[in-house]
């Protein structure tokens, strides 16, 4: 048997073990987001390697240079394809954040230069609430607002709510083988191949940030971000996640206004 065929047969079981490990991980966590990448790993990994090994063992007249070229190209393809596809799938399905905002078109945002924080609907975990407050203060400072509890131009309030939802993911191997209304200062709740469908419970968090005109006692701006919550995240990742969420929400503050409206 050609030496290259032995290498094909030797590497194929390694991909079997990797595929089994990924499958066990998905089953244990009930998170099948990267299932398409897993299917391609199995196909291009051990199945294709075993087929190539058999082919070059039988076709002895085939060029050994061609056989080695196929061997290395296939391995490189697997090493690039699997992690790349897994990374593409994970952010798109698990960590996407949706942001929206609304505002009073008659409000004079240039007159809001100082602010004070007011209690809204907190998470109830001091460390997380402190992170949210720190992120809000950093964003407001970057936008030129100064914190002043004595006589602020604006009051800033945040609300957080959580909801368990069903995440339904349908994927194919590709081969034959209410949010409810929050009032200012008030927090409420909110009402050809094999194809598989997986259902899992996910925790979705909503962060709402309100800005109210202290003089007129009226809300003038609201930003909202909705995102799946990673309950197993490390402190560093939580810091980054909260900072990014608040940053995305405040990208729309102050809003672009028609000069005629102000």
- Are 51 and 101 in the same domain? no
Residue 195 tokens read as 């194809």
Positive/negative CA dihedral, 101, 219, 215, 159: negative
In the predicted model, residues of the chain with pLDDT beneath 50 are 91-96, 168-197, 199
> How confident is the model at residue 153, as a pLDDT?
95
Q: Cis peptide before 147, with omega less than 30 degrees from 0?
A: no
Domain edge (last residue) among 78, 94, 110: 94
CATH of the domain at 160: 3.30.160.670
Residue reference for tokens 């907190």: 122
pLDDT the model gives residue 105: 92
Query: How does DSSP assign 139-201, residue by residue?
Result: HHHHTT-EE-SSS-SEEEEEEEEEEEEEEEEEEE-SS---B----TT----B----EEEEEEE
What confidence tens digit (pLDDT) does each residue in 112-166 have? Answer: 999 999 988 888 888 888 999 999 999 999 999 999 999 999 999 999 887 765 5
Q: Are residues 24 and 69 in the same domain?
A: yes
106 with 227, same domain: the answer is yes
Which tokens belong to 81? 């394809």
Taking alpha carbons only, the member of 230, 226, 233 closest to residue 249 is 226
* pLDDT on residue 144: 94
Last residue of a domain, one of 27, 59, 94: 94
- Say whether both 163 and 73 belong to one domain: no
Q: What is the pLDDT of residue 161?
A: 83
pLDDT at 231: 64
Domain boundary among 94, 120, 151: 94
pTM over 0.75, yes/no: no
Residues 40 and 118 in one domain: no
- pLDDT number for residue 37: 79
Per-residue pLDDT at 260: 54
Q: What is the pLDDT of residue 192?
A: 43
Looking at the fold, whether 168 and 250 belong to one and the same domain comes out as yes
Whether residues 21 and 51 fall in one domain: yes
Q: How far apart, in whole angstroms, are the C-alpha atoms of residue 229 and residue 238?
A: 10
Domain that includes residue 64, residue range = 3-94
């Amino acid at each position: 048997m050609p030496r290259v065929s032995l290498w094909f047969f030797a590497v194929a079981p390694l991909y079997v073990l990797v595929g089994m490990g990924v499958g066990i991980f998905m089953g244990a966590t009930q998170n099948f987001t990267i299932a398409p990448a897993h299917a391609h790993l199995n196909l291009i990994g051990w199945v294709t390697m075993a087929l190539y090994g058999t082919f070059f063992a039988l076709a002895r007249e085939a060029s050994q240079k061609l056989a080695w070229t196929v061997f290395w190209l296939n391995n490189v393809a697997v090493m690039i394809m699997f992690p790349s596809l897994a990374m593409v799938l994970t952010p798109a399905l698990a960590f996407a954040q949706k942001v929206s905002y609304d505002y009073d078109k008659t409000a004079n945002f240039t007159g809001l230069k100082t602010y004070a924080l007011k209690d809204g609907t907190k998470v109830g975990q001091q460390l997380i609430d402190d992170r949210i407050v720190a992120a809000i203060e950093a964003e407001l400072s970057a936008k030129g607002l100064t914190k002043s509890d004595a006589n602020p131009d604006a009051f800033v309030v945040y609300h957080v709510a959580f909801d368990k939802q069903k995440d339904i993911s349908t994927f194919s191997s590709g081969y034959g083988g209410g949010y409810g209304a929050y009032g200012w200062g008030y927090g409420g709740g909110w009402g050809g191949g094999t194809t598989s469908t997986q259902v899992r419970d996910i925790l979705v968090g909503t962060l709402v940030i309100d800005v109210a005109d202290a003089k007129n006692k009226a809300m003038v701006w609201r930003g909202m971000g909705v995102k799946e919550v990673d309950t197993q995240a490390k402190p560093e990742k939580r810091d980054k996640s909260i900072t990014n969420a608040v940053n995305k929400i405040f990208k729309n503050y102050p809003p672009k206004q028609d000069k005629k409206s102000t």
